[in-house]
């Protein structure tokens, strides 16, 4: 008897059996129970009939099984509910709900809901909802829902098979139908985007006026290939792609000055169209350009461009305008592309200077 009293695991097991005996008959007669306490199915107060009983409160050391939950359910590993839940579910590993959920689900690994969800879902790995997730979904890796009515935040990807009414924020990928805003480390995919679409590499959409990425493939947007040259005699072939307003710039080129070593160029940036007339507009661009000889010498220039542009022939556009440029390079290279500066730093290890230049070009729009 003494060993039994001081053995916690045996005490818990016997206590669970006593609870099962005392509450099991009552729960069987009625399809609902005020309290459901157990270890793991079927060792619980609802016994082998647990799957047919609705509970107001459930607490399980490992895992609980029930028909439905109307209050809180807590489990060390898993909560499994065949139908609907309201209230909160907290599990060390996973919450599995066959129907809909109207409260919060918090789990260490995953929340899996067969129907819709109106409360917040917080999971260490993933939230998967078969219907609309009207509350926020926050996961360490993946959020997946038929539709999203609030924010989706994930370390890797957010996927809404239909519309996403809130912000989609992911470390790698966002995908949705009609969406409000998307921010991803690599790519965004959508149909119609009402707000901003920001990605580290590529945006894809049927309609998006404000895409921000190196490459933007917008169905009702604009793509072009441009040839440009600037005050340093650097020629660039660039691909411009975007929506009605914003567009991305990515290009490569060559410096045509008589340098001791051949210098090659790469540029990337963001632009905005400001329409003035049917064939006249201003293109505002913020661009970073690097010239390098691939042997340690590099010339870095950040530019703001104001480029009036005239469209002609249906597909062609010519543009030219002033630029404000900030440059930096190792003083040992002593580049002499520019003679006159608005400002320059003569005391630092690297040369730094500010000057006014120009950019001229032509592009083919498709």
Query: For the segment 259-276, what is each residue's pLDDT rounded down to a tens digit?
Result: 889 999 999 999 999 999
Query: What is the SS3 string spanning the chain?
Result: CHHHHCCHHHHHHHHHHHHHHHHHHHHHHCCEECCEEEEECCEECCHHHHHHCEEEEEEEEEEEEECEEEEEEEECCEEEECCCECCCEEECCEEEECCCECCCEEECCEEEECCCECCCEEECCEEEEEEEECCCEEECCEEEEEEECCCEEECCEEEECCCEEEEEEECCEEECCCEEEEEECCEEECCEEEEEEEECCEEEECEEEEEECCEEEECCCEEEEEEEEECCCEEEEEEEEECCCEEEEEEEEEECCCCCCCCEEEEEEEEEEEECCCCEEEEEEEEEEEEECCCCCEEEEEEEEEEEEEEECCCEEEEEEEEEEEEEEEHHHCCCCCCCCCEEECCCCEEEEEEEEEEEEEEEEC
Tokens coding 35: 């309290």
Burial of 297 (0-12, 13-18, 19+ CB in 10 A): middle
Strands 280-292 and 173-175 turn out to be unpaired
- Look over the chain and give the mean of its residue pLDDT values, rounded to a whole number: 92
235-254 pLDDT, tens per residue?
999 999 999 999 999 999 99
Q: Does the pLDDT value for residue 24 go beyond 80?
A: no
Average pLDDT over residues 334-349: 89
Average pLDDT over residues 360-364: 98
The CATH class, in words, for 223-365 is mainly beta
Total Cβ atoms within 10 A of residue 340 = 8
Determine contact, residues 114/132, Cβ cutoff 8 Å. no
pLDDT of residue 30: 54
326-335 pLDDT, tens per residue?
999 998 888 8
Tokens coding 245: 């307003």
This prediction has a pTM of 0.86
**pLDDT confidence bin for 77, thresholds 50/70/90:** very high
Q: Which residue has the higher pLDDT, 37 or 347?
A: 37
Q: In the chain, what is the straight-line distance between the N-terminal and C-terminal CA atoms, in Å?
A: 87
Determine contact, residues 323/358, Cβ cutoff 8 Å. yes
Q: Does the pLDDT value for residue 19 go beyond 90?
A: no
141-177 pLDDT, tens per residue?
999 999 999 999 999 999 999 999 999 999 999 999 9
**pLDDT confidence bin for 134, thresholds 50/70/90:** very high
Domain boundaries along the sequence of the chain: 19-218, 223-365
């Amino acid at each position: 008897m003494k060993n039994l009293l001081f053995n916690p695991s045996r005490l818990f097991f016997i206590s669970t059996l006593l609870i099962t005996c005392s509450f099991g008959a009552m729960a069987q007669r009625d399809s609902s129970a005020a309290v459901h306490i157990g270890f793991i199915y079927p060792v619980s107060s609802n016994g082998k009939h647990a799957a047919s009983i609705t509970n107001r409160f459930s607490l399980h050391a490992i895992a609980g099984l029930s028909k439905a939950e109307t209050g809180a359910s807590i489990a060390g590993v898993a909560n499994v509910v065949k139908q609907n839940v309201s209230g909160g579910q907290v599990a060390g590993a996973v919450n599995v709900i066959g129907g809909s959920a109207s409260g919060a689900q918090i789990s260490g690994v995953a929340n899996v809901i067969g129907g819709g969800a109106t409360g917040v879902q917080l999971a260490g790995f993933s939230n998967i909802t078969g219907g609309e997730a009207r509350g926020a979904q926050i996961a360490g890796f993946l959020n997946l829902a038929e539709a999203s009515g609030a924010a989706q935040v994930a370390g890797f990807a957010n996927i809404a098979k239909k519309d996403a009414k809130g912000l989609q924020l992911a470390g790698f990928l966002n995908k949705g139908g009609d969406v409000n805003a998307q921010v991803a480390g690599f790519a965004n995919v959508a149909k119609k985007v009402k707000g901003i679409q920001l990605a580290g590499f590529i945006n894809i959409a049927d309609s998006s006026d404000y895409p921000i990425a190196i490459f933007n493939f917008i169905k009702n947007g604009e793509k072009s290939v441009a040839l440009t040259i600037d005050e340093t005699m650097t020629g660039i072939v660039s691909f411009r792609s975007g929506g009605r307003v914003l567009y991305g710039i990515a290009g490569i080129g060559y410096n045509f000055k008589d340098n001791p070593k051949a210098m090659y160029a790469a540029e990337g940036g963001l632009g905005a169209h400001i329409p003035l007339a049917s064939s006249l507009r201003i293109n505002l661009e913020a661009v970073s350009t690097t010239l390098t000889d691939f042997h340690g010498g590099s010339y870095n220039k950040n530019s703001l461009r104001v480029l009036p542009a005239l469209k002609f022939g249906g597909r062609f556009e010519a543009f030219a305008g002033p630029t404000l440029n900030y440059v930096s390079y190792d003083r040992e290279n002593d580049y002499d592309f520019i003679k006159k500066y608005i400002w320059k730093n003569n005391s630092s290890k690297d040369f730094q200077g500010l000057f006014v230049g120009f950019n001229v070009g032509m592009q083919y729009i498709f």
